[in-house]
Homo-oligomer: A and B are copies of this chain.
């Protein structure tokens, strides 16, 4: 349970070392030559960056078994040694926290769910500390050091400061979560927005591998969006980015918790679905799960609520495509369970509102359970460990 010793830090936090490590992590095993091609670094720079990573045991070399022997010296492949370090990722929802223990390759070794007694920072911190303790005990049995903890929370999160500025679902304002969790667990802590964390996991291991520009849109209690532009997750100069939920779809539409009218989230979020079906049927509806059940039973008001939600989501995605022109938009989130009810409207609204060739963007659905979000949180901890976390760099044209 002791914090990692000084000897256990990453060899060097240079851009080349981070880039090489991340490329091997997400696309490896690779030869040095292929690494040079994929990163744009010179072969000499690749060799120079790989050396300390091998010496410190984070990368290992293998001989490619399928290399044609006729070519002389067999090609040496470089891969990440997953067993070299462990990480913990925590995703906080309104009802529970989900924790994963992963190896350095961000493969999930252990998953734990813990119900939350409440949503105050104290309650979430206590639950997090308890869950991290359980996962550290598991790690002790593996005799590998846990090098970092990532915590993913919905809302406006300032990763550089380690603070949750505003989380509507948790009703938090200005909570210095990284500092509090570091004191409680003894681990280096990275706090990030949950959709951005999920986007890192998709970029490294999911439907975003090899793409320099893509978006993840999550549908559920809120409507979120993670953006990757020029190969990096967009964090926003002031901490806010990817707020597709607050793209205006109809200025005369329903009031949103942000104070505006007709935001995507005010039409397509779980609370909006519940509200609309209540208003249309005059009956009490408990939650989004019940709206889904009503829709699947053929209740018109529920089906119409989903159709309007799909239209709003499709327009929101078209706005992202018109501004950024991503190669792909990955649609996920708890709301995916209802995808058959609004898929058609999402696509129709997207194609109607996409401008010119922006309509060529590939829309794809991916069921990503909360384990995967927690894995994203672990990925942010790995980012911090290897020194590739987003920094507010000066312009590098």
Contact = CB atoms under 8 A, between A and B. Distances in A.
Interface in A1-54: 14-15, 19, 22-23, 26, 38-42, 45
Contact of A258 (B42, B165, B355): B355
A357 B240 contact: yes
Interface stretch (A71-79, A292-300, A319-327): A319-327
A15 B210 CA distance: 19
Contacts of A26: 395, 397
Please indicate which of the listed interface residues A232, A235, A244, A246 has the most CB atoms of chain B within 10 Å of its own CB.
Answer: A246
Contacts of A236: 213, 324-326, 357-358
A323 B325 contact: no
A178 interface: no
Nearest to A209: B395
A357 B322 contact: no
A252 B252 contact: yes
A388 interface: yes
Chain A interface bracket (under 10, 10 to 19, 20 to 34, 35 or more): 35 or more
A204 B252 contact: no
A249 B38 CA distance: 41
A247 B264 CA distance: 13
Interface string A234-246: 1111111111101
Contacts of A369: none
B323 A242 contact: yes
Nearest to A325: B236
A327 to B, nearest CB: 4
Contacts of A23: 396-397
A19 B238 contact: no
A210 B395 contact: yes
A230 B259 CA distance: 30
Nearest to A327: B237
B322 A239 contact: no
Contact of A203 (B242, B327, B393, B395): B395
Contacts of A234: 229-230, 324-325
Contacts of A325: 234-241
A129 interface: no
A162 to B, nearest CB: 16
Interface in A244-263: 244, 246-252, 258-260
A243 B225 CA distance: 19
Contacts of A93: none
A322 B247 contact: yes
A91 interface: no
